Amino acid sequence: MGRPVSWAALLVLSVAWQVSLGGAAAGGQRRLHNIVLILTDDQDTEIGGMTPMKKTQALIGQPGASFANAFTVTPLCCPSRSSLLSGRYPHNHLVRNNSLEGNCSSPAWQKSQEPLAFPVYLRRQGYQTFYAGKYLNQYGHPRAGGIQHVPMGWSYWNGLVGNSRYYNYTLSANGQEEQHGQRYQDDYLTDLITNRSLEFLKKAQPPFLMVLAPPAPHSPWTAAPRYTTFYNTTKAPRGGSFNVHGKDKHWLVRQARSPMANTSITFLDKAYRERWQTLLSVDDLVERVMSQLKALDLLATTYVFYTSDNGYHAGQFSLPIDKRQLYEFDIRVPLLVRGPGIKANQTRLEPILNIDLGPTFLDIAGINVSQTAMDGQSFLPLLVTPVQSSEWRADFLVQYTGEGSPDRDPACPALGPGVSQCFPDCVCEDAFNNTYACVRALRPHGLQYCEFADSQTFVELYNLTADPFQLHNVAKSVDPTLLEALNQRLIKFLACAGPSCRI
């Protein structure tokens, strides 16, 4: 599967970058660069999720690099964001789902993982740090410190309490409760994040870290008034696996009604349009932030990253709308980067994971990532030094812990307990035993091997080189020695921590 570059070699390349690009400040210290991260919520790449982002493509992607193979290591909001913050796979940070009981922003998370998150390291390195928007789904819960809890590492904190909303929400403003209603000029969350980021930039003392986490395009898909009439004839794309029965897949996918009911198609098309409408305000956010950086003469010293926590689906394998599944549409995410030393108009093919963002930020700040507990690795050398694709990782781990309800859904009396997210038309998107772990390989062939933690130990295997839409599960038709090799690789991944995750 190709030979990954050694961690030591990456550190050498990183040091070389620091010497060549950093320059020397007073006392011989390297100049530290600013970092801006824009993190959307549920933005896909596989079903057109970047189409509305014309300004973002022009202002970040074209002057920098676009990563065609960027992935989340787990396709659900809180576990994914926990991976991004900690730089760790879920089996190491132990966030299982979006619930407090699933360790989402729980007291245990705050005690064991928040002190190891990337903003803590950057703050110690002298960075001013600013956060605005959605953090973790259970942030602000009364049983987890409430609004008064400000996560470690943040100088300026504007954290959304709970899950994504556009109006009628509560913020923790540096630990103080701030209630918002439904007045567009004052309360629309994406615009509020934009405005507060511009205020921060005016007074920021470099180096700074600024993380902006708007709610779009997560439900309830509330567009700004000026965008409610856009894309009114747009429909979810009909190609690939759309409205195709997943007859050889895990039972949860097989249970989806196929072909879908007309009501399901109408519902998902409407959601698809409204997702795009909400993203137009994010595109404006990017434009205004980039204009402010330029006006303040900060563009040349600032790295700007644009990505999402996970992908999304809209009708693929007859599943109406959600994420959580192992397939490409749910695990692939956008990733655009621009900044010092990055050549324009690059399209990079190396697989980059959301657990690599934290290590990359630390690398920019001159921090030795090998001295942390992070599982990911800095991809800065790929952008600013001549590392070859064959020297980067060839495969990685994707894992997910299913969620279900112990009780029957009264709206779907025919369904038993143990399932969840059963809408519309009682098609369930999750279940307790929708728990899986996968090896996703890109070299020498595109493969995905997944094992489910259920009574069958169900296996799915896809040759993505020949079958990019994952229409055919070939687990029962390949040489058993391949299955055994992939199983052993999966076992090693599930036991990895820190450096052993990078080999």
Which residues are identified as catalytic? 77
CA angle (106 as vertex; 437, 158 as ends), nearest 5:
110
Q: What SS3 class is residue 57?
A: helix
The whole-angstrom separation of Cα 449 and Cα 397 is 10
The whole-angstrom separation of Cα 128 and Cα 209 is 6
Strand intervals (E) in 262-348: 302-308, 313-314, 321-322, 335-338, 346-348
The whole-angstrom separation of Cα 276 and Cα 279 is 5
Q: What SS3 class is residue 113?
A: coil
The whole-angstrom separation of Cα 470 and Cα 487 is 19
- Neighbouring residues of 377: CB distance < 8 A, sequence distance ≥ 6: 7, 10, 356, 359, 369, 393, 502
Specify the DSSP element, H or E, that contains 192. helix 189-203
Inter-residue contact 391 to 502 (CB < 8 Å): no
| Residue 421 CB neighbour total at 10 angstroms | 20
- Neighbouring residues of 30: CB distance < 8 A, sequence distance ≥ 6: 18, 22, 23, 24, 366
- Tell me the residue type at 343: K
- Token pair 């655009």: residue: 336
Write out the two tokens for 120. 């803590």
Q: Exposed (0-12), middle (13-18) or buried (19+): which is 332, by Cβ within 10 Å?
A: buried
The whole-angstrom separation of Cα 162 and Cα 422 is 21
Q: Say how many Å lie between the first and final Cα of the chain, rounded.
A: 12
